[in-house]
Amino acid sequence: MSRTRTARWVRQVRPLFTVYLPVLAYVLFALFPLYFMLVTSLKSNAELYDVNAVPFWISRGLTAEHYGLLSTDTPFWSWFANSLIVSVASTVVSVVLSVLAAYPLARLRFAGSASFGIAIFVTYLVPPSLLFLPLTNVVNWLGLSDTLWALIIVYPTFLVPFCTWLLLGYFRTVPKEIEECAMLDGCSRLQSMLFILLPAAVPGVICAALFAFTLSWNEFLYSLVFVSPAELKTMTVGVFSELIRGDIYYWGSLMAGATIGSLPIVVAYVFFLDYYVSGLTSGAIK
Amino acid sequence: MTKLSVTDPRSPRRRQFLRTAAGSAAGLAGILALRQAPAYAQSRELTFLTIASFVPDTDKELKRQLEEWGAKNNVKVRLDIIAHLQLQTKKAAEVQARSGHDLTALGPGLGDADLYFDHLADLKDLADEVAPKNGGWLSPNDYLVRGKWTLLPWWQPPFPMAIRTDLLEQIGEKNPDTWEDWLRIGKKGKAIGHPFGTALGHSADANTTMLSILWSYGGSYVAKDGETVTINSPETREAMEFVKRLYTEAMDPEVLAWDDASNNRCLNAGKCIAIHNPISAFESAKKDKILVPGTQKPIAEVIDHIITPRGPKDRKATTGFWCVGIWNFSKNIELAKDFLRFHFQPENQAKWVEAGHGFNMPFLNNLTNHAVYKSDPQYRHIPEVAKVTVPPSWPGPTTAASQQIWDLYIIPDMFAQYATGRMPLDQAIAWGEKEMRAIYNSKRRT
């Protein structure tokens, strides 16, 4: 009896040590930056400057002054809207193009298809710090400087290769036999892709879209170079431009901007987490 | 479904639509091919790229002046502001595309004049016009690069010593003047938990202070000819010995990782007894109403500024030389010059300096005596600091090589190698000399 009770107790307690505590440590580690941003954004400047104050919590009362400064002294909400417009638009464009690129690479056999796949991924590896100079010429030639269109056109240059590579792997995990059945029943290649493959590959598409959105949302260099007017800046550049003034850093407002800026990403991942995980792990095992 | 016949009354409308559509498409194609708006839609626009000022009201005043000038001249104007750390990237992109803003901030340092020599408009006429109205340029020969005025020196933040008067009193010190005085004060301060603070890593402040010390001990890194590297000298050895003592006896090791904001934070947090820095720390302490830790006393009330220290041989300082230029690929060179003419009028300069609380001191004699420097006792030494301020390449001229030595932090690295004990003295100097020679040799024009 007592042995049974002990065994039951062990069964109940074991997950605490093998699952929850290790996971808790990781969760705390992962959430710490978010927590620190939030706490810093709610502290008064006097407390932020106090070297004797404990940096991990607020001891002299909450303040919303840093959020107020963002809203009243900077066009923060315009930057937020610009980031949203650019990220959503470039994500849609990139995912559509990537589906169209990944499908033939995954399904069709043609000369050089394998090297095409590698070439697409290699283009993703070219760093933006090398590409921004020639791209400046392109954007200027198109007459798109200082418009959000510049970013919507340029972001797919690094989003499409990445999304194509991601979708390529995912499409290969969907059995081609179901498409072949559909084609036997009269589906065209395009119909087969749209109505058979894509519904089966929704997790992969959502995963690609999430990555594309995150990469666009966080992008800094192209946004800095191609857009100058204050009202057209994206959030990453706007916050940096207005709140770092030489040797004065507006830490509270910087953290307030970072906190608000992280919300859309947090929300997107919370809603689509299951798709994201299944999109990433598909193809990992067969 | 109704089928339209040729007699259908809607037919002419269709033909008209097709004609209009064809015309519009041709027009649009023309606009796209020329990448230029049609004549009736064109208006004059002047764009100005500058850095986010350390004192935000400066930007507001500059914008006001630009808009006032635009309204007077019927020119659409746009002032774009970016953080100073982003300026290099933006300039490189604009030069690459040969397109962008008409007017641009240049710097820090006069090196852009050499680096972008082929892309900047000649401003000699403007320089000659501006000087007499403002009592002349402070050191006009310093601003000529390859014998030309490719930029106008715009503003500098003079580098005094920012000190805590209450802590100075507590350790029984008064009227410090030499670097040795500051070493003594730093030692006493460190003993009571208030070390001296100056950056010794990769930051503009580290460049500025290490150069000041080097010159004060009689050293320099390049000769007047702008080619001969002179860093390997007994004076450099003396300066480096001093910095080693300053680092080990009067400062905390954290200074090796400081950026430009760290010393401000150290002073305003109540930790540092003194920092070598412009008035920005004091200004932000006032703005943010920061208190002396453990008291209700505003820390700004116990911060003072005194002249940059003297060494055994000299008293010299440098700082960020912020400049303004006009790209020669701008379509509005004359308009841009006209705005600069307006901005450099004495009354506009005066308003602009006042808005910046004197942080932005122009390189013009009359403006160094602006009333703002008498408005607050803490600013009394600022004009004197400006008088001993020289470009970072002193005594050599500013060149792309001198700018590269600044940008790569060779001077602070050399001092830090020895101060931290990573290299013996001779090895650290030999390392610095080798780096500098390589840079000067690579930039030598044949």
> Confidence class of residue B22 from pLDDT cuts 50, 70 and 90?
low
Between B141 and B324, whose confidence is greater? B324
Q: What is the mean pLDDT of chain A?
A: 90
- Mapping DSSP onto H, E and C, the string for chain A reads CHHHHHHHHHHHHHHHHHHHHHHHHHHHHHHHHHHHHHHHHCCCHHHHHCCCCCCCCCCCCCCCHHHHHHHHHCCHHHHHHHHHHHHHHHHHHHHHHHHHHHHHHHHCCCCCHHHHHHHHHHHHHCCHHHHHHHHHHHHHHCCCCCCHHHHHHHCHHHHHHHHHHHHHHHHHHCCHHHHHHHHHCCCCHHHHHHHHHHHHCHHHHHHHHHHHHHHHHHCCHHHHHHCCCHHHCCHHHHHHHHHEECCEECHHHHHHHHHHHHHHHHHHHHHHHHHHHHHHHCCCCC
Say which residue the tokens 């109704």 belong to: B2
Which chain B residue is nearest to residue A49, measuring alpha carbons? B269
The pLDDT assigned to A124 comes to 82
**Residue of B62, B194, B265 to mutate when probing chain A, most A C-beta within 10 A:** B265
Structure tokens at B435: 């780096």
Asked if B353 and B361 touch (Cβ cutoff 8 Å), the reply is yes
Q: Rounded to an integer, what distance in angstroms lies between the CA atom of residue A221 and that of residue A237?
A: 8
Q: List Cα–Cα distances, A263 to A28, A32, A40, in angstroms.
A: 18, 15, 16
Q: Which residues of B190-220 are buried (b: 16+ CB within 10 A; e: fewer)?
A: beeebbbbbbbbbbbbbbbbbbbbbbbbbbb
Which whole number is the average pLDDT over A183-208? Answer: 91
Structure tokens at B338: 């006209």
Does position B203 have pLDDT exceeding 70, yes or no?
A: yes
Lowest mean pLDDT among A121-125, B67-71, B344-348: A121-125
Asked if B340 and B126 touch (Cβ cutoff 8 Å), the reply is yes
Kindly calculate the radius of gyration of chain B based on its CA atoms and give it in whole angstroms. Answer: 27
Structure tokens at B417: 């190698």
Segment B240-289, tens digit of pLDDT = 999 999 999 999 999 999 999 899 999 999 999 999 999 999 988 988 88
The pLDDT assigned to B133 comes to 96
**Residue of A51, A131, A247, A251 to mutate when probing chain B, most B C-beta within 10 A:** A247
Which whole number is the average pLDDT over A32-49? Answer: 92
Contact at CB, A140 and B277, closer than 8 angstroms: no
Q: Are strands B274-276 and B322-326 parallel, antiparallel or unpaired?
A: unpaired
Q: Rounded to an integer, what distance in angstroms lies between the CA atom of residue A227 and that of residue B155?
A: 26
Q: Is the Cβ of B260 closer than 8 Å to some Cβ of chain A?
A: yes
Q: List Cα–Cα distances, A255 to A63, A250, B85, B294, B394, in angstroms.
A: 13, 9, 19, 26, 40
Residues of A in contact with B89 (CB under 8 A): 132, 221, 224-225
Between B131 and B53, whose confidence is greater? B131
Which whole number is the average pLDDT over A6-13? Answer: 89
> Confidence class of residue B2 from pLDDT cuts 50, 70 and 90?
very low
> Confidence class of residue B4 from pLDDT cuts 50, 70 and 90?
very low
Q: How far is B392 from chain A (nearest CA, A)?
A: 18
Which whole number is the average pLDDT over A180-205? Answer: 91
The pLDDT assigned to B41 comes to 46
Q: Is the Cβ of A54 closer than 8 Å to some Cβ of chain B?
A: no
Does position B36 have pLDDT exceeding 60, yes or no?
A: no
Q: How far is B54 from chain A (nearest CA, A)?
A: 5
Structure tokens at A102: 């990944």
Phi then psi for B288, rounded to 5 degrees? -90, 5
- What's CA B390's distance to the chain center, in Å? 14
Q: Which residues, listed in sequence order, are joined to residue B35 by a DSSP beta bridge?
A: none
Segment B276-300, tens digit of pLDDT = 999 999 988 988 888 898 888 999 9
Query: Pick from B303, B306, B273: which is nearest to B288 by CA?
Result: B303
Structure tokens at B194: 């208030």
Does position A35 have pLDDT exceeding 90, yes or no?
A: yes
Q: Is the Cβ of B32 closer than 8 Å to some Cβ of chain A?
A: yes
The pLDDT assigned to B33 comes to 52
Q: Rounded to an integer, what distance in angstroms lies between the CA atom of residue B203 and that of residue A198?
A: 52
Contact at CB, B261 and A52, closer than 8 angstroms: no
| Number of Cβ within a 10 Å radius of residue B230 | 18
Segment B391-418, tens digit of pLDDT = 999 999 999 999 999 999 999 999 999 9
Structure tokens at B156: 């500098």
% residues pLDDT > 70 (chain B): 90
Q: Are strands B76-82 and A244-245 parallel, antiparallel or unpaired?
A: unpaired
Between B56 and B351, whose confidence is greater? B351
Asked if B80 and A271 touch (Cβ cutoff 8 Å), the reply is no
Q: Which residues contact A30 (CB under 8 A, 6 or more apart)?
A: none
Q: Is the Cβ of B284 closer than 8 Å to some Cβ of chain A?
A: yes
Asked if B286 and B201 touch (Cβ cutoff 8 Å), the reply is no
Does position B67 have pLDDT exceeding 60, yes or no?
A: yes
Q: Rounded to an integer, what distance in angstroms lies between the CA atom of residue A129 and that of residue B231?
A: 34
* Plot region of B218 (φ>0 → left; ψ -120 to 50 → alpha; else → beta): left
Chains A & B: contacts with CB separation below 8 Å: 108
Q: Rounded to an integer, what distance in angstroms lies between the CA atom of residue B367 and that of residue A57?
A: 46
The pLDDT assigned to B287 comes to 85
Asked if B304 and B274 touch (Cβ cutoff 8 Å), the reply is no
Between B23 and A161, whose confidence is greater? A161
Q: Rounded to an integer, what distance in angstroms lies between the CA atom of residue B351 and that of residue B23?
A: 52
Q: What is the mean pLDDT of chain B?
A: 90
Asked if B258 and B205 touch (Cβ cutoff 8 Å), the reply is yes
The pLDDT assigned to B145 comes to 87
The pLDDT assigned to B16 comes to 55
> Confidence class of residue B427 from pLDDT cuts 50, 70 and 90?
very high
Lowest mean pLDDT among A105-119, B302-316, B421-435: A105-119
Query: What is the value of pTM for the model shown?
Result: 0.83
Q: Which residues of B241-272 are buried (b: 16+ CB within 10 A; e: fewer)?
A: ebbbebbeebbeeebbebbbbbbbbbbbbbbb
Contact at CB, A247 and B32, closer than 8 angstroms: no
Q: Which residues contact A268 (CB under 8 A, 6 or more apart)?
A: A210, A213, A214
> Confidence class of residue A3 from pLDDT cuts 50, 70 and 90?
confident
The pLDDT assigned to A153 comes to 95
- Nearest-by-Cβ selection for B56 from A229, A245, A247: A245
Q: Which residues contact B365 (CB under 8 A, 6 or more apart)?
A: B134, B135, B136, B137, B138
The pLDDT assigned to B228 comes to 96
Q: Rounded to an integer, what distance in angstroms lies between the CA atom of residue B53 and that of residue B87?
A: 13
* Plot region of A213 (φ>0 → left; ψ -120 to 50 → alpha; else → beta): alpha
Residues of A in contact with B54 (CB under 8 A): 245-248
> Confidence class of residue A259 from pLDDT cuts 50, 70 and 90?
very high
Q: Is the Cβ of B84 closer than 8 Å to some Cβ of chain A?
A: yes
The crossing angle, in degrees rounded to 10, of helices A76-107 and A156-173 is 40
Does position B7 have pLDDT exceeding 60, yes or no?
A: no
ipTM of the complex: 0.80
Asked if B222 and B298 touch (Cβ cutoff 8 Å), the reply is no
Which whole number is the average pLDDT over B339-348? Answer: 98
Segment A41-89, tens digit of pLDDT = 999 988 888 877 888 999 888 999 999 999 999 999 999 999 999 999 9
Segment B174-191, tens digit of pLDDT = 889 999 999 999 999 999
Segment A91-146, tens digit of pLDDT = 999 999 999 999 999 988 888 888 888 888 788 888 888 899 999 999 999 999 99
Q: Rounded to an integer, what distance in angstroms lies between the CA atom of residue B328 and that of residue B150?
A: 10
Query: Pick from B414, B342, B20, B395: which is nearest to B218 by CA?
Result: B395
Q: Is the Cβ of B90 closer than 8 Å to some Cβ of chain A?
A: yes
